[in-house]
Amino acid sequence: MVGSGVLEIWHDKGSTDTSLVIAYGCRYRYHAPTQLSLSYLTPRYLHSHRRVPLSQSLPISAIHATALLLRSRLPNTYIFTGNSLFSRMERLWTGSRINKNKKMVEHLQSYGVIRSIKVAEVMETIDRALFVPEDASPYMDSPMHIGYNATISAPHMHATCLELLENHLKPGMHSLDVGSGTGYLTACFAIMVGPEGRAVGVEHIPELVESSLQNIQKSAAAPLLKAGSLVLHTGDGRLGWPEYAPYDAIHVGAAAPEIPQALIDQLKPGGRLVIPVGNLFQDLQVVDKNPDGSVSIRSETSVRYVPLTSREAQLRG
Ligand SMILES: C[S@@+](CC[C@H](N)C(=O)[O-])C[C@H]1O[C@@H](n2cnc3c(N)ncnc32)[C@H](O)[C@@H]1O
């Protein structure tokens, strides 16, 4: 493995598979003979979830050498600080905050992360700046610390999960957001299911529930919170929230060692659960409940999330 900071590259021994890793983002896989383009720190790498077409064949040792060279030329904090390509672009985007949020969405569309009009609309409607800490760069494509050993996920992960759940977030449907954190995705779900639907968030850190309520009150989802179709609860999300089950869509924002049975039980036949599963190596798994109650599970992509755990373990760090 090369690199311990933001960018890591490794080659699995005995496999033909080589992976690039963006910490807290996604792992990008492609097969040997490994191919690499020197444009690999373009925003494409920060957003795409697909196998990336690369232009020039290089042996593994050359990849390692290139990664080391890039590491020596770039500060370790390259992606997470205001020096990232994305945040430099963000500074060039002019106009109001809402306009910058729109540019972020357009950027994710141009890299193919957002393909659905509905997902673009909801991410334009819910301004990310209302959900990140005040000193953060709200439209940078990166997770950000929100305290209590938690993060707000990166915009490309929010977009990916919304894309995967779109057909299960139609008006009138029920959704559950486990590990709701800042409340960003719960607010998006609430807008999508509308006043006839139900968007439930469960978060186990009471202070985060409190601040997420404040965030949502400033957002376009405030009327839904007031009307009671959007609700946030403090609790252990591994148990789901039986009160409003069964759910058409369940999203889990933290990585579980295995899929909690309670979440499968609370999924409606025809419903979908999106959950990161694993410890050090994690996959974003898509669980579809069939009409007969059986489930089909597939892996969408490799990811890196904070763990779905007990409150005590999370606060210990
Ligand atoms: C990566 S954060 C994502 C938050 C949210 N999706 C966002 O973008 O703001 C994961 C969240 O899961 C919460 N969490 C972890 N384990 C939990 C559990 N057992 N029950 C409820 N929430 C949990 C953490 O406190 C954290 O807020």
126-144 pLDDT tens trace: 999 999 998 899 999 999 9
Annotated catalytic residue within 153, 212, 219, 302: 153
The pLDDT, as a whole number, for residue 98 is 74
Q: Is the CB of 311 under 6 A from ligand 1?
A: no
Strands (E), the chain: 7-11, 17-22, 26-31, 144-147, 150-152, 174-178, 198-203, 230-234, 247-252, 267-278, 282-289, 295-303
pTM higher than 0.85 for the full model?
A: no
Q: Separation of 119 CA from ligand 1 center, angstroms?
A: 22
The span from the CA of 40 to the CA of 93, in Å, is: 23
Q: Specify if 83 maps to a domain.
A: no
The pLDDT, as a whole number, for residue 22 is 36
Mutating to test ligand 1, I would choose from 24, 132, 151 the residue with most ligand atoms within 8 A of its C-beta, which is: 151
153 is catalytic: yes
Q: What is the pLDDT of residues 168-226, one digit of tens each?
A: 999 999 999 999 999 999 999 999 999 999 999 999 999 999 999 999 999 999 999 99
Last residue of a domain, one of 53, 73, 93: 73
Residues 153 and 54 in one domain: no
Q: Specify if 67 maps to a domain.
A: yes
Q: Is the CB of 302 under 6 A from ligand 1?
A: no
Q: What is the pLDDT of residues 11-23, one digit of tens each?
A: 333 333 333 333 3
Q: Specify if 22 maps to a domain.
A: yes
Q: Specify if 211 maps to a domain.
A: yes
Structural domain boundaries enclosing 54: 7-73
The answer to whether 9 touches 3, Cβ cutoff 8 Å, is yes
Q: Is the CB of 179 under 6 A from ligand 1?
A: yes
Q: Separation of 176 CA from ligand 1 center, angstroms?
A: 13
Q: Specify if 80 maps to a domain.
A: no
The span from the CA of 190 to the CA of 194, in Å, is: 6
Last residue of a domain, one of 30, 48, 73: 73
Q: What is the CATH number of the domain that holds 296?
A: 3.40.50.150
Q: What is the pLDDT of residues 90-115, one digit of tens each?
A: 555 555 677 899 999 999 999 999 99
Q: Separation of 249 CA from ligand 1 center, angstroms?
A: 17
Beta strand 26-31 pairing with 295-303:
antiparallel
Strands (E), 23-115: 26-31
Last residue of a domain, one of 27, 58, 73: 73
